Amino acid sequence: MPAVLRLDDRVALVTGAGRGIGAATARALAQAGARVALVDRDREGIERTADLIGGGGGTALAFTADVTDAPAVERAVKAVAAEWGRLDVLVNNAGIVRDATLASVSDDDWADTLDVNLRGTMVCTRAVLGPMRAAGRGRILSATSVVARMGNFGQTAYAASKAGIIGLTRTWARELGPLGITANAVAPGFIDTDLVRGVPHKVLDRLVARTAAGRLGRPEEVASVYVFLASDLASFVNGAVVGVDGGLLL
């Protein structure tokens, strides 16, 4: 990896790091030289990710926590800062999907989706402001989605939550930019993860046919964008929504 993309001496915290894009992002950040804190409700998943990072020569800490549990998130952030003395990068990747059309979406599914995807993103970002402000620099990177831009049948709650993340990101870019902290969002298209593999084949075939690249994305392709945005190369990128969708929106 070119020296300009190295993240040596940086500390990153990745939520939803137990599998899929979160796990791939944590590993990519570690490969670039960052020490990585892993946060997920899935203890087994983050331990597996931590083992893979350690096996590759990297350094990781694992914290079992729900992003909606503000005290647990704050404890994890304090532990990271105490262990490594800093926190430079936050990747808000944790999220859930509760598919339902407007006519069938339940109040509970709506509330759960916005609680995890939207409030959880706010909770984690608020928690890292202390060490980032003290350092006078930081990167807030949050996962939105292609569906926030184009909508998707049967994803009323999910699309709303991911569209909200774009609003949060642009607001934080304005608020935190003068403090040396940038905020950007990454909008993946349909990526080859466990979640997408559960989509019926006919639906996936239609999505692939609409994608200019003619295939699903790979978690590592999304992770590489996070590494760039975490690096010094992206120091003047702020308030952006970076699409990683293979041309689905063309």
Active-site residue numbers? 158
Q: Look up residue 57 and give its two tokens.
A: 């020569």
Tell which residue, 58, 49, 133, 45, has the closest CA to residue 88: 133
Q: Look up residue 152 and give its two tokens.
A: 């998707």
With the CA atoms of 215, 216, 218 and 224 taken in that order, what torsion angle do they form, in degrees rounded to the nearest 10?
A: 80
Q: How far apart are CA 173 and CA 169, in angstroms?
A: 6
Q: How far apart are CA 226 and CA 89, in angstroms?
A: 10
20: left (phi over 0), alpha (psi -120 to 50) or beta: left
**Amino acid (1-letter code) at residue 112:** D
Q: How far apart are CA 36 and CA 26, in angstroms?
A: 6
